[in-house]
Amino acid sequence: MMHIINGKEVAQSTLLKLETMIRCIEASLYRAPKLHVYRVGEHPASMIYTQNKLNTGRKIGMDVEIIALPEEITEDALMHLIKKDNNDPKVDGLIVQLPLPDQLDAYRITNAIVSHKDVDGLTDGNLGGLVSQSSLLKPCTPLGILELLKSIHCPLRGLDALVIGKSCIVGKPLALSLMSCGCTVTVAHKATKQLKEKVQASDLVVSAIGNPNVIQPQWFKKHAIVIDVGINRLDHGAIVGDVDYQQCKQAGFVTPVPGGVGPMTVAMLIKNTVLACCHQHDLMDLYYEHFGEAL
């Protein structure tokens, strides 16, 4: 029997814990943890994503500010603002919403953020630290996926996992994290041969392709865990994942789109900001008290 993993519910219970923690931090620092979200221009998806981060954070008492910048801002001007925040003890975390306009180099800008405030976990320092399991702040979507897997109480050690997609924000960091959890990991991508056979052989499949026509629901093996990261807008406006989750009859667990990985990604951004704040202000005991190890 197939179970749907409710990402909204798991995210909500994480946010409730974070709300309590934010109150404890306020009692110590006389201020809430502060997140700066840089948005350049008015890219329609970026407007929605940044507003969602602001609303989710503020709802549980976090101090979130969107820094809205003009489309034509220069790299030097943006770097200057980031460096100012890097040195401001009252800003605990900052992110730059992607994509950026052409005159801005997303790689250079992301890496201008000091690693202990990089709450998206995308600087070279934090991504590289995944190899040695030493990074404090990890990318939000892989973190959210690990939390979803924890919520179904399935031991990961020994599972054959297939990660489809090899981007720096999802596929690569997730593959490293699953490896650290004891999975035997295969990473598939555009040039991968015999994808169907690889899906059929896997206990855990994570799809981060961004195309609803690649994976067929009948490919999954009996009791497989299927995590769908894809967000695809169809011609008539509906949002769907990479996989038609209602047709995954053989699977054991599947995530829906919307309502699966998406809400977890935002919750993990808030959690990373709380973690960054605790780390910078000598409050790690408080963090461990609420969340155990910093994943």
Residue ranges that bind ligand NAD, judged by CB under 6 A: 141, 164-167, 169-171, 188-190, 192, 195, 208-211, 214, 229-232, 261-262, 265
Decide the pairing of beta strands 232-233 and 239-240.
antiparallel
Q: Which residue lies nearer to ligand NAD by CB, 151 or 280?
A: 151
Active site (catalytic) residues = 53, 97, 120
**Alpha-carbon gap, residue 126 to 119, rounded angstroms:** 10
Q: Which residue lies nearer to ligand NAD by CB, 25 or 270?
A: 270
Tokens of 155: 């031991």
**Alpha-carbon gap, residue 267 to 53, rounded angstroms:** 9
Q: Which residue lies nearer to ligand NAD by CB, 166 or 281?
A: 166
Work out how close the CB of 146 gets to ligand NAD at its nearest, in angstroms, rounded to a whole number. Answer: 13
Work out how close the CB of 191 gets to ligand NAD at its nearest, in angstroms, rounded to a whole number. Answer: 7
Tokens of 209: 């392709």
Tokens of 289: 């008290």
Q: Which residue lies nearer to ligand NAD by CB, 129 or 165?
A: 165
Using DSSP, state whether 146 is helix, strand or coil.
Answer: helix
Work out how close the CB of 234 gets to ligand NAD at its nearest, in angstroms, rounded to a whole number. Answer: 13
Work out how close the CB of 120 gets to ligand NAD at its nearest, in angstroms, rounded to a whole number. Answer: 11
Q: Which residue lies nearer to ligand NAD by CB, 180 or 186?
A: 186
Decide the pairing of beta strands 93-96 and 34-40.
parallel
Q: How far apart are the first and last CA of the chain?
A: 30
Inter-CA distances, 281 with 29, 90, 91, 106, 208, Å: 8, 10, 11, 29, 36
Nearest to 93 by CA among 284, 292, 271, 293: 271
Other beta carbons less than 10 A from residue 133's beta carbon: 11
Work out how close the CB of 27 gets to ligand NAD at its nearest, in angstroms, rounded to a whole number. Answer: 32
